[in-house]
Amino acid sequence: MATHKFALGDTVTVWARRMGRPAWMGEYEVTRLLPVEGDDPRYWVKSPHEAVAIAVPESLLSEPPRWSTRPLS
73 vs 37: CA distance, rounded Å? 48
Does residue 73 form part of some domain?
no
Q: pTM to 2 decimals? A: 0.78
* Degrees, nearest 5: CA angle 44-56-36: 80
36 vs 24: CA distance, rounded Å? 23
* pLDDT for position 58: 93
**How many domains is the chain partitioned into structurally?**
1
Is the CB of residue 58 less than 8 Å from the CB of residue 43? Answer: yes
Domain that holds residue 53: 11-61
Does residue 1 form part of some domain?
no
- For residue range 15-27, what is the model confidence (pLDDT) as tens digits? 877 666 655 678 8
63 vs 11: CA distance, rounded Å? 7
Does residue 2 form part of some domain?
no
Does residue 53 form part of some domain?
yes
Does residue 23 form part of some domain?
yes
Written as one letter, the residue type at 57 is P
Percent of the chain at pLDDT above 70? 78
